[in-house]
Structures are given as C-alpha cells and as structure tokens.
Chains A and B, each alone.
Chain A
Amino acid sequence: MSDEVRDAGYDDLLDAIAEDQGYYLECPNGHGSLPPRTVCPTCGDPDLAEEPLASAGELETWTLTTVATPDFEGDAPYVLGVASFGPVRLTGQVRGVDEGEVETGLTVEAGVEQRETTDDPLLVLRPR
C-alpha cells in the first residue's frame, strides 16, 4: 500500500486524536462506533454525528506481546490494551508505564505516536 494513500475515516481520526481532538460516531439511539461508517453498525441508523472522545479511558484488558508480526518486531515486547472511552473502546499500545505496573482499571488517554519498527502512526494509550 502506498504511503501516500490515506484510509479515509481511520487516518482522519488518528490525525484528530494526535491534535487532542478525538471523536467517535454516535447515532440517535446512543450507539457509539469508530469511522468510517455509513450507518450505525448496531441499529443501521444513517444519522451519525461526531461526538468528542472522552479525554480519559479505562483499561479493560491487556497483554504483553512477545511474539510479534514482522511489522512490530522492533516494538516487541509491547503491551497491547483495550480501553473503554464511554460508548466506544480503543485498542492501542500501552506506553509510559512499566509492564509490571500495568493493570486492568488503569486510567489512560489516547494518543498517536510511531511504531518502533516502521514509521507508521500508532494508536497509543498512556497513563493519565
């Protein structure tokens, strides 16, 4: 995939998170989702509005990955986590905390940094 070609929706949200302007999509029924979406994945409603992503999230689960794919060889070992930001969750690398200190329930904020292995942008979760 050419570096010049963006993935609409995905790259737009990462850019917004990097500028501390993160958002998610919400339908009139209160279902949250991540872009790109034409309709709400839960109820099919096409009326989707961008709502501000909560500044703080809660780590719901995590893993220390030792065996990585080639694109993350230089990153390993790394902690991957899933954090809840209200109506949506994000999956990202947990940085800024010793692996022995990572625990479920940790308060985190979303950010965008770079992979160690490549220069690709990386969704990260850092303690808040």
Chain B
Amino acid sequence: MSQVRVAGVGQTAFGQYPDRTGRDLFGEAAAEAIDDAGVARDDVEALYYGNFMGELAERQGHQGPLMAEAAGIDAPATRFETACASSGAAVRNAVLSLRAGAADVVLVGGAERMTNLGTAGATEALAIAADELWEVRAGMTFPGAYALMARAYFDRHGADREALAHVAIKNHANAVDNEKAQYQREITEEDYFDAPTVSSPLGLYDACPITDGAAALVLVSEAYAADHDVDAPVVVAGSGQGGDDMALHDRDHLDRTPAADEAAAAAYEDAGVAVDDLDLAEVHDCFTIAEVLGLESLGVYDHGEAIGAARRGETTADGDFPVNLSGGLKAKGHPVGATGASQVGEMTRLLRGDHRNSDAVPDAEVGVTHNAGGTVASAVVHVLEVDR
C-alpha cells in the first residue's frame, strides 16, 4: 500500500475574529499549507473540506467550490460534515483517495466562523449536532450533553471535578507557547473552581471556547513525494472511523464512547501498531470529560482510569504520555470544522520537530489524533508516524 505523506501544514490563529468570513480564514490556512509543502498549486487535484455550521453562521451552503476558489486551486471540491469531526472525516477520505490512486496531491482542511453568532447563537448552532426531535426539543445543549456523560462517569467510577480541573490546567499550560492558540495563558485550580457553572457538573473551564479559525494540510502520495523531492517525513500510517446511535439515550453506556473505540481499533490495525507503540496524542477535549473518555477509547487507559491521568502527571508535557501538547480544543480553541485537520497538523509539527512543544517529545515516532462529532456518534482516529 502506498504511504500518504503530510507535505504541508497551515493554520490561522484560532480565536475571536467575528468579522472574518469562512473563505477568508480558509484561504489563509490553505496558502500556508501549500507554501509549507512547496508543491506547485497546479498539482493539487482535489479539495476535501470540513465545515459544520456554515448555513447557520454565514447562510452559506455548497462551500466546497467556494473554498477551492479561496485557496486558488482549480480542482473538484467536496464538503464533509460530521459535526465536530468534519475535517477528521475530510482527512480520512483524502487519505483513502490517495491510497486508491485517485490522486497524488490533495488539499484537505476545514474552517468555522462562530463568534459572529454570539454565545447564545453559537450554543444554538452547536446543539444541532444532537438529535433535534428527542434531545434538542427537550433542552439539550452541547455542554449539557457532555454534562450528562460526566455525571454518569462520576457515578460509575466515583470520580469528581478535581480530576477534571487538572485536565484543564494541563491543556492551558500546553497552549502558552502555541502562537496559534486562542488562550495562551495558564489557569489555576482556583480559577477552575471559581468559574461559573455552565451545565452541572461542568463549569466554564471544563468547556472549550467558541472559536473562529481554519486549518489545512497538503497530503501527497509516496510516488509524488519521491518524484518531486518533497520533504515530508511524517506519514498518515493509519485511519479509522466509527459511528454510533445519534441520541445519547440510545447508547448502551452513557459514560463510554464506543464509536471512538471502533475508530481507534481500525486505525491501529491499519497502521500495524499497538497502543504501546504510541508516544503522544491529540485528543478531542471539547470538554475536560471528553479527553478522559477519549483516552479510554484509544485504549491508553482502562475504563475509569483516565480520569486521574492529568492529576497524576502522566499526560502532562513532562509525563510519560503527553496529551494535547497543542493546548487541545480546551485552550487552543475549537473552530468546529477545522479541528480534525488542525489536530493532524499539530501532530505533524510535533513529530517533525518544528512545533513550539516538540522539545517535550524529542524522540517521538508515533502519534495518534482523536476527533469526535456530537456526543461521539461520529469519531475519526489517525495514526501518524515519522518515516524519514
């Protein structure tokens, strides 16, 4: 099977940029990725693009060709939508396309404009990732959904919020030196517990912010990289996707995310790796509890064990298995449709050594990215490896 190489990485600053349109954001990220790759723009054969709430935030559907135009490429373009896993799904489909020989150079990424909606508007837009009939009409919000999962986890495993505080503290600390992060500042346990409740048991510092931003990657085939002398030492070695019932109440367990279990198992098999081979992870921490559930789905911890990982120092930058060295969604920000591609971009830079936090993992060879949609009715996992 032909390897797929990450030739270029691009990303806008994540943050509050309410006046920037989606096309403006993606154009910048794509230009940076194409420049980083050093490939000819004319060689790009397709765009795989992730976006979730464009119809609500910008009254804009049919965004694929619009974003190809913004990127300055003349190629077929398709939008992928799996809620917060939209660009993870775009990356996966780009990888499958390259492996199938349908293309040699693909632009992939995503963008989301959110803060122009305000907090109430963005909360309403995010809620449509849940089941409209049986969840949203009862009053479910995105934080509310994860709060339901958090309480179920607490009840089952006897955990509490103090452990979650350390997830937030860790990810904020990791974002301090990430020049693209929304919150480049540390928080304390006191900040965490003083913050207002959003949806009990979760408070403001359990939640990722509302974010504008875009991310892009240039993926190339092994043959193209060799023929064009492209410097691309990181390969997408494994890709997996999982699915589950849409509504949380239809799941077998309220405190587990089996779609991500499936995605991880498929990605590991695809890459020919085991959990013990992994050196670090970027995990979809839209809420602190989501990082815990994600690490258990990835098999890094057994059920009920990941809750204390950050507090024990195992997943901090100096721990045995650093998680979210980018700052994660929690502190880097979560422009929904851009997040999956951003995770792959951050992991690529961490592995190839040009990330601000690469020093924390100087010998890392294998990283995993975990991207989740809704209450994890969709999940996409990728395994990235150094292959110089």
Contacts and interface: CB of A to CB of B under 8 A. Distances in A.
A98 to B, nearest CB: 14
Contacts of A89: 249-250
A93 B138 contact: yes
B120 A91 contact: no
Interface stretch (B39-47, B177-185, B191-199, B359-367): B191-199
Given A67-B141, A73-B120, A91 B134 contact: yes
Contacts of B245: 41
A41 to B, nearest CB: 7
Interface in B195-251: 196-202, 245, 247-250
A31 B183 CA distance: 46
B149 A33 contact: no
Contacts of A91: 134-135, 138, 140, 247-249
B127 A69 contact: yes
Given A69-B120, A70-B120, A80 B155 contact: no
Interface in A69-113: 69-73, 75, 78, 80-82, 88-93, 104
Interface string A27-44: 000000110000001000
Which of A66, A67, A72, A73 has the most CB atoms of chain B within a 10 A radius of its CB?
A67
Given A41-B250, A104-B155, A80 B148 contact: yes
Interface in B102-136: 119-121, 123-124, 127, 133-136
Chain B contact residues, majority secondary structure = helix
Nearest to B133: A10
A123 B140 contact: no
Contacts of A123: 137-138
A66 B148 contact: no
Interface string A104-128: 1000000000010000101100000
B147 interface: yes
A53 interface: no
Contacts of A64: 197, 199-200
A80 B249 contact: no
Nearest to A33: B250
B139 interface: yes
Nearest to A83: B249
B120 A60 contact: no
B148 A82 contact: yes
B144 A63 contact: yes
Interface residues of B, number: 36
Contacts of A72: 139
B143 interface: yes
Chain A contact residues, majority secondary structure = strand
Nearest to B125: A69
A65 B139 contact: yes
Contacts of B198: 65-67
Contact of B119 (A10, A33, A67, A120): A67
Nearest to B118: A70
Contacts of B120: 69-70, 73
Nearest to B119: A67
Contacts of B134: 10, 34, 90-91
A66 B197 CA distance: 7
Contact of B139 (A41, A68, A90, A104): A68
A7 interface: yes
Contacts of B57: none
Given A61-B149, A63-B200, A68 B140 contact: no
Contact of B124 (A60, A65, A71, A88): A71
B278 interface: no
B151 interface: yes
A47 B205 CA distance: 47
A80 B137 contact: no
B247 to A, nearest CB: 7
Given A61-B152, A82-B248, A66 B135 contact: no
B201 A63 contact: yes
B249 A90 contact: yes
A83 to B, nearest CB: 8
A80 B138 contact: yes
Contacts of A92: 138
Interface of B: 119-121, 123-124, 127, 133-141, 143-144, 147-149, 151-152, 155, 196-202, 245, 247-250, 254
28 contacts: A7-B133, A10-B134, A62-B151, A63-B151, A63-B199, A65-B144, A65-B147, A66-B197, A66-B198, A66-B199, A66-B200, A67-B198, A68-B141, A69-B124, A69-B127, A70-B121, A80-B138, A82-B148, A89-B249, A90-B134, A90-B249, A91-B138, A92-B138, A104-B155, A115-B139, A122-B137, A122-B138, A122-B139
